[in-house]
Amino acid sequence: MKKRNEHPDRFSSNWSERDQGCPVHCSPERLIVALDFSDPGQARNLVEQLKPTGVSFKIGLELYMAGGPDLVGDLAARHNIFLDLKFHDIPNTVAAAVRSAASLGVSMINLHAAGGRKMITAARDAVESLDRRPILLAVTVLTSMGDQEMHETGCPGSTAERVLQLAGLVSECGLDGVVCSPLEIAEIKAKVSPPLITVTPGIRPAGDAQDDQFRVGAPAEAIRSGGDYLVVGRPVTRAAEPLSAARRILTEMGVDQ
């Protein structure tokens, strides 16, 4: 059985560097730009614009529905791709979906931790024996949600408590990491064992609008808290000059360019 975080994909070299004491911000691949477009052509254009930076990219539901598996496979052949489809279904269905996603050559795949232990372990087992196994993540609580939304969906307590509870479950189940907001990184790193990779949306450079995100933080804050990968969408995709915007965020992360 492969040990957690042993991945023969392009992300693996960065993770091993971190284990050897290399600062987490040493590689531009730690910045994942969300390709939130309904037009595959726009997504491809942005990928080409940002190619000089060496950043990674995220494909979510909007672009996946427009471009399908062919687009994912094509981009994954040339770039680190985080396939953000947040699988949440019965264990057998999620296991099959994760296997199909992995066959596209992506570097990261995620599912919802709220799907429970059986679903999480089924997904883990589905990719465990693959030669090119992607990093498998579980979403804790969406960054658009706060305590009120948690209570409305029947979850008592605070959002922070729920995130930590789910992160503990994910660690017990042997996944590689979690998707969490910038506000929970430090506590997950301090309290969850075995340790988890953190992938963090809700990143907003100083002065940028929060949009529909509720639990947000700046790039430098997330790095200081121990964040491993930062996900940024609209601050780059809606910028007048996306390349300059991406470089500004990389600078805030401490990446040498």
| Alpha-carbon gap, residue 127 to 112, rounded angstroms | 16
| The pLDDT value given to residue 177 | 98
Q: Single out the catalytic residue among 3, 86, 118, 191.
A: 86
**Domain ranges for the chain:** 28-252
> In angstroms, what CA-CA distances link 69 with 40, 41, 162, 219?
12, 15, 33, 31
Domain 28-252 annotated CATH 3.20.20.370: no
| The pLDDT value given to residue 215 | 63
Per-residue pLDDT of the chain (257 residues; tens, 9 = 90+): 344 544 434 454 343 333 333 344 469 999 999 999 999 999 999 999 999 999 999 999 999 999 999 999 999 999 999 999 999 999 999 999 999 999 999 999 999 999 999 999 999 999 998 989 999 999 999 888 888 888 998 888 899 999 999 999 999 999 999 999 999 999 999 999 999 999 999 897 865 555 555 567 889 999 999 999 999 999 999 999 999 999 999 999 999 77
Contact indicator for 29, 57 with CB cutoff of 8 Å: no
| The pLDDT value given to residue 207 | 59
**Largest pairwise CA distance in the chain:** 47
The pair of structure tokens assigned to 66 is 């427009």
| The pLDDT value given to residue 156 | 86
Whether 118 is catalytic:
no
